[in-house]
Structure 1
Amino acid sequence: MKTKIPAVERTRRLIRSATTAVAASLVATALSGCSALTQPINGVPADRLPPQFFAEPKNDLVPVDIALLSIEPPRNYQISGGDILGIYVEGVLPFNPPNQPPEPPPVNFPDAESTLPPSIGYPIAVQDDGTLSLPLVEPLDVEGLTLEQVRDAIRDKYIDEDILRPEKVRPIVTIIKERTYDVIVVREDGGGTGNGSLSTQNVAAQFFSGGSDRSASGGLVKLPAYQNDILHALVETGGLPGLNAKNEVKVLRANRADQRMRAQFMQQWYAQQQAAKLDPCSCPPPLPEDPSILRIPLRVKPGVVPNIPEDQIVLNDGDIVYIESRETEVYYTGGLLNGGEFPLPRDYDLDVLGAISIAGSSVGGTASQFGTSIGRGVQGVPPGMLYILRKDDCGGQVAIEVDLSAAINDPRQRPLVKAGDTLILQYKCEEEAINFGLSTFFTFGIAEIFRQAR
């Protein structure tokens, strides 16, 4: 026969059982160890880190006036080598016997893609040295002259040579075809216009979804005179760089002097790298700016106007316009976050809280989101410690410690994510102990309480 236990004694037993269950869970946690103890990361709190380890903000950057990337054409077209002129000189071009009526000049219609009006005259090409060869006279130097000035020069030449009488010299000069410049455009943002190419928007979407191989597209672009600038080269190949390209344009000149400068620059830099490797305590120098490569930023700080002289944006035959991909501008996740590689936004900042959200987790969520299930509908404590593993300029790394509870309440404790960062999310030791204790209590403690209560 069972003895009935008084109510006060039953309450005491329940309290002792609950206390014993919680204490046992805490002891088990301490014996098994938490990740903060078994896998420690020696981090530096974000508010104690020197400024040089933080990312440069870019939220306040403004687009560059794209008009700075184009040249201003002169009011009147100036002749140069490569132009094809339509010229008619009565009695000379074409030759006409004195006793016959003159032949009418031919009419030339431009190509479909040309913006020139129909022209009159026989096609005569301006030589590379800027001279124009006409019948019965020495070549004329027409470099930099307008059509009206060329017409006057032809008239004066035939009068001075006593070939035609002044009242009979009425030359006609028009433009049949403008000179063009062959420029190479290499784009790693999918902005090419060749067959099978994708639009900039589609390629950018593929980049952010991880479905693009970021392969480069390139081609030869023929730019008419006074349109041979960076802006027209970009417009002809798909527009300004897309979201998966860097916010800058590189220009590599085709002349031999610049090519030799680039080769010499790389040789000197590699020699410095090899010399630095001989000293284990030295810091290898980073790759400096190549003075022979023109870099034009497309976004700058407010109030800053890039100093871009017009001669720098003019493109000549063989010059290369290079749009570089930003495929290396990614960050990585690990620890309690799902491992992955995620691209950084190009035109705005991303702090650690936003980076965690992009990785598929929510700050302040339940413990079950991070692989810890309490059971019976009870939500545990979410992880509260984030470490940013950031590389330095000398091949090492620094671990930045971010307390997520403090970061939620204080924007100053939310470091911006840089390219190459690795984000490791962990529980604090007390958080892991609480979750383990709650799991143990609701799994075994309640059953023990009811058993003691019977």
Structure 2
Amino acid sequence: MNNSIANLGKKQPRAEGRDRGDSRACRGGLFDSLRTGVRCLSAKAAAAVLMAGSLTGCSALTQPIDGVPADRLPQQYFAEPKNDLVPVDISALSLEPPREYLIGPDDILGVYIEGVLPFNPPNAPPEPPPVNFPDAESTLPPSIGYPIAVQEDGTLALPLIEPLNVDGLTLDQVRDAIRDAYIDNDILRPEKARPIVTIIRERTIDVIVVREDGGGGGGLTNQSVGAQFVLGGSDRSATGGLVKLRAYQNDILHALVETGGLPGLNAKNQVKILRATKENREAREAFLKKFRAQRQAAMLDPCACLPKLPEDPNILRIPLRLPPGESPNLSQEQITLKDGDIVYIESRATEIFYTGGLLPGGQFPMPRDYDLDVLGAMALAGQGVYGAVGGGGRPGGIGGQIATIPPGRLFILRQTDCNGQVAIEVDLTKAINDPRSRPLIQAGDTLILQYKAEEELLNFGLGTFFTYGIQELLRNN
């Protein structure tokens, strides 16, 4: 027993040594496993870099865009704000009617002259005048008398007397002129000369109204409606026709009211008036001829920039929204429409912007009456600053789908003269905190969303760790 105890006591140092050796062996095995895991992780990380670079791409490194920071860009490249514009006073588009209706060519009068119109024998009882009821759309009261039209030269032809010039006279003045004419020609005695004159139908002015805002309904709010708007759907359907405007209502406001009101959201906020006179047509043709000559001369120089078609000064353009305190300064002659004039409401088919890069690709209509900055455009495209990429956008970045840091750089590709382009760089972090760092979007812009280089690297590190690092650590343990 004592020997056993003694032997056991002698073996204790060797047992302790074995325990220490086993412990070192265990720790060595664990370190070897970790080194193996790190080597595997390094190899898989390298493979992940190659795979991520080939699948999602590191756009900040492989597709760089030379942009100019928004705060360094000249003012001429920025869009004009629209938030401060206010609607014009629409009463400025309407004629002021006279206190009394003035007779003119093409008016139809009801005339009754006892014994003359109609003719009655002296001993026969007088025939009562006919009663005329106006059309359903007319605002005139019922009239009496036989219909007689005012001629183009402004005269009124009546029996037994010379034509009377009634152009510019009121009904009372026409009645007095008829009475005096029959008395002066000894046709009627003064006590029998009691003519009755009424208006059966007012003269009308024929104008043509063409509207490209017709049809669609509730405005443009999303990409699909915007595509229909651009490519030609019901929201861009044009309507037009001949509109008959009554005298003293032949103005721009009445032409718009008769055809649906002010321009809708699908149309530009202005009205164009094309005059039908021969002088205006010849002036427009001379303007186009001069422009064609300038363009042909510019085409001879390969380095010259082809001129754009300027606005025709012979076309009257009336804006419907202006800065506060301004007015269109229209004269009565400018808002008066004559026979054959054309009122044109133009579509906003080209007022769109495009998205790409990490934004869902598409084309979207611009708002007409308010400003749209970069953050609003991203939201309209379906991508918030901190949100997930919407349908149609690439995951982007070498972190792939596991990337947690959102892209922080947006480029606005804006067209300039001579087919040029300027790339406006927007730091989204600054844009969130400072409204002055949010450039306004204008028609024709292309928005490209990208990661910054540091965001790419952080997303790669996070994506690689959560994809491969934890997996290897768990596998080796």
* TM-score of the pair, normalised by structure 1: 0.90
Specify the alignment match of 1:371 in structure 2.
395
Work out which of the residue numbers 133, 147, 164 in structure 2 matches 1:123: 147
The question of 1:62 aligning with 2:86 is answered yes
Q: Which has the larger radius of gyration?
A: 2
Work out which of the residue numbers 176, 186, 189 in structure 1 matches 2:213: 189
Specify the alignment match of 2:455 in structure 1.
431
The question of 1:102 aligning with 2:126 is answered yes
Q: Is the Cα–Cα contact under 8 Å of residues 207 and 341 in structure 2 kept in the other structure?
A: yes
**Residue type of the partner of 2:130?**
P
State the distance in 2 between where 1:187 and 1:205 align.
21
State the distance in 1 between where 2:40 and 2:406 align.
24
Once the two structures are TM-superposed, the CA of residue 37 in structure 1 deviates from its matched residue by 2.5
Specify the alignment match of 2:114 in structure 1.
90
Q: 3-state SS of the aligned residue for 2:128? A: coil
Q: 3-state SS of the aligned residue for 2:159? A: coil
State the distance in 2 between where 1:61 and 1:329 align.
18
State the distance in 2 between where 1:417 and 1:245 align.
19
Q: Indicate how the Cα distance of structure 1 residues 128 and 320 shifts in structure 2: closer, same or farther if over 3 A, else same.
A: same
Alpha-carbon displacement from aligned partner over 1:59-105 (angstroms, at most 9, x marks no partner): 01101111111111111000000100001112211122222222221
State the distance in 1 between where 2:116 and 2:313 align.
53
Specify the alignment match of 1:195 in structure 2.
none
The question of 1:313 aligning with 2:335 is answered yes
Which structure 1 residue ranges, 5 or more long, are not aligned?
191-197
State the distance in 1 between where 2:146 and 2:400 align.
94
Q: Is the Cα–Cα contact under 8 Å of residues 374 and 438 in structure 1 kept in the other structure?
A: no
Alpha-carbon displacement from aligned partner over 1:311-336 (angstroms, at most 9, x marks no partner): 11111111111100001000001111
Q: How does 1:236-255 map to 2 (within 5 A)?
A: 236-255=258-277
Specify the alignment match of 1:193 in structure 2.
none
State the distance in 2 between where 1:324 and 1:376 align.
45
Q: Indicate how the Cα distance of structure 1 residues 148 and 14 shifts in structure 2: closer, same or farther if over 3 A, else same.
A: farther
Q: How does 1:27-42 map to 2 (within 5 A)?
A: 34-42=58-66
Once the two structures are TM-superposed, the CA of residue 279 in structure 1 deviates from its matched residue by 2.2
Q: How does 1:411-450 map to 2 (within 5 A)?
A: 411-450=435-474
RMSD of equivalent CA atoms: 3.0
Work out which of the residue numbers 416, 419, 431 in structure 2 matches 1:407: 431
Q: Is the Cα–Cα contact under 8 Å of residues 48 and 464 in structure 2 kept in the other structure?
A: no
Q: Is the Cα–Cα contact under 8 Å of residues 154 and 165 in structure 2 kept in the other structure?
A: yes
Q: Is the Cα–Cα contact under 8 Å of residues 205 and 244 in structure 2 kept in the other structure?
A: yes
Q: Indicate how the Cα distance of structure 1 residues 26 and 239 shifts in structure 2: closer, same or farther if over 3 A, else same.
A: same
Q: Is the Cα–Cα contact under 8 Å of residues 211 and 345 in structure 2 kept in the other structure?
A: yes
The question of 1:216 aligning with 2:233 is answered no
Q: Is the Cα–Cα contact under 8 Å of residues 252 and 321 in structure 1 kept in the other structure?
A: yes
State the distance in 1 between where 2:407 and 2:265 align.
33
Once the two structures are TM-superposed, the CA of residue 210 in structure 1 deviates from its matched residue by 3.3
Alpha-carbon displacement from aligned partner over 1:367-407 (angstroms, at most 9, x marks no partner): 79851599999552111111111111222111111111111
Q: 3-state SS of the aligned residue for 2:456? A: helix
Once the two structures are TM-superposed, the CA of residue 39 in structure 1 deviates from its matched residue by 1.3
Q: Indicate how the Cα distance of structure 1 residues 415 and 9 shifts in structure 2: closer, same or farther if over 3 A, else same.
A: same
**Residue type of the partner of 1:346?**
R
Once the two structures are TM-superposed, the CA of residue 284 in structure 1 deviates from its matched residue by 2.6
Specify the alignment match of 1:322 in structure 2.
344
* TM-score of the pair, normalised by structure 2: 0.86
Work out which of the residue numbers 139, 162, 168 in structure 2 matches 1:138: 162
**Residue type of the partner of 1:393?**
D
Q: Is the Cα–Cα contact under 8 Å of residues 21 and 445 in structure 1 kept in the other structure?
A: no
State the distance in 1 between where 2:385 and 2:458 align.
18
Q: How does 1:224-235 map to 2 (within 5 A)?
A: 224-235=246-257
Q: Is the Cα–Cα contact under 8 Å of residues 88 and 172 in structure 1 kept in the other structure?
A: yes
Q: Is the Cα–Cα contact under 8 Å of residues 60 and 450 in structure 2 kept in the other structure?
A: yes
Q: Is the Cα–Cα contact under 8 Å of residues 388 and 422 in structure 1 kept in the other structure?
A: yes
Once the two structures are TM-superposed, the CA of residue 222 in structure 1 deviates from its matched residue by 1.0
Which structure 2 residue ranges, 5 or more long, are not aligned?
1-21
State the distance in 2 between where 1:158 and 1:338 align.
84
Range that drifts further, 320-329 or 159-168: 159-168
The size of the alignment, in residue pairs, is 445
Specify the alignment match of 2:173 in structure 1.
149
Q: 3-state SS of the aligned residue for 1:210? A: helix
Alpha-carbon displacement from aligned partner over 1:417-453 (angstroms, at most 9, x marks no partner): 110011111111221122122222222222333455x
Q: Indicate how the Cα distance of structure 1 residues 108 and 326 shifts in structure 2: closer, same or farther if over 3 A, else same.
A: same
The question of 1:331 aligning with 2:353 is answered yes
**Residue type of the partner of 1:180?**
T
**Residue type of the partner of 1:383?**
P
State the distance in 2 between where 1:205 and 1:356 align.
14
State the distance in 2 between where 1:314 and 1:230 align.
7
Work out which of the residue numbers 263, 282, 285 in structure 1 matches 2:307: 285
Q: Is the Cα–Cα contact under 8 Å of residues 376 and 442 in structure 1 kept in the other structure?
A: no
**Residue type of the partner of 1:210?**
A
State the distance in 2 between where 1:34 and 1:418 align.
29
Specify the alignment match of 2:288 in structure 1.
266
State the distance in 1 between where 2:68 and 2:397 align.
31
**Residue type of the partner of 2:167?**
E
Sequence identity, in percent?
A: 67
Q: Is the Cα–Cα contact under 8 Å of residues 21 and 441 in structure 1 kept in the other structure?
A: no
State the distance in 1 between where 2:119 and 2:150 align.
21
State the distance in 1 between where 2:53 and 2:107 align.
87
State the distance in 1 between where 2:348 and 2:194 align.
60
Specify the alignment match of 2:10 in structure 1.
none
